[in-house]
Amino acid sequence: MHNTYKVGVDKAFEFDLTDQDISEINSIKNSDTSYHILYDNKSYHAEIAQSDFTSKKYSIKVNNTTYQVSIANNLDIRIAEMGFSVGSSKQINAIKAPMPGLLLDIQVKVGQEVNEDDPLLILEAMKMENLILSPRNGVIKAISATKGDAVDKGQLLIEFE
């Protein structure tokens, strides 16, 4: 399986790169943060000015112009498609079905306090049981489905207060 990366530049451009694309870049590492790159017979000096590995956001200086770059790998892309994202757990007020499936179990009740990563429900999809965990600490406000329901992707399942 090949890794694919979504690379966003200044929130204006987005590129899909594979491991092979990256291996074919003609570059020389000058230091831990500095590179010399040849592309289309042109020379570029690139430097990582700032990096936040956790959020995968970087400031890259190319020939004295700074660009804001974000990188998402296969897992980041899949998590975003499911409606979750790293670092935004405090803002999530509802759990929606990440895929169509059968609701096998609901492990919480309305009014129950839950902590981040507590199990909320089990969704069977494509013959696999998927345990859906709480993205944050909170109190269950409403449960919009019942055990045994067939649910569609994006269907509201649980709301937080």
Q: Are 11 and 68 in contact (CB under 8 A)?
A: yes
What six digits make up the tokens of 14? 């987005």
Encoded amino acid at 149, one letter: D
What pLDDT does 151 receive?
A: 94
pLDDT averages per 10-residue partition of the chain, 161 residues: 85 89 91 93 93 86 94 82 57 86 94 92 88 90 94 93 87
Sort 20 into a burial class: Cβ within 10 Å, 0-12 / 13-18 / 19+.
Answer: exposed
Q: Classify 119 as helix, strand or coil.
A: strand
Q: Is the pTM of this model over 0.85?
A: no
The tokens 């831990």 sit on which residue? 32
What pLDDT does 83 receive?
A: 65
What six digits make up the tokens of 43? 């020379």
**d(C-alpha 50, C-alpha 11), whole Å:** 17
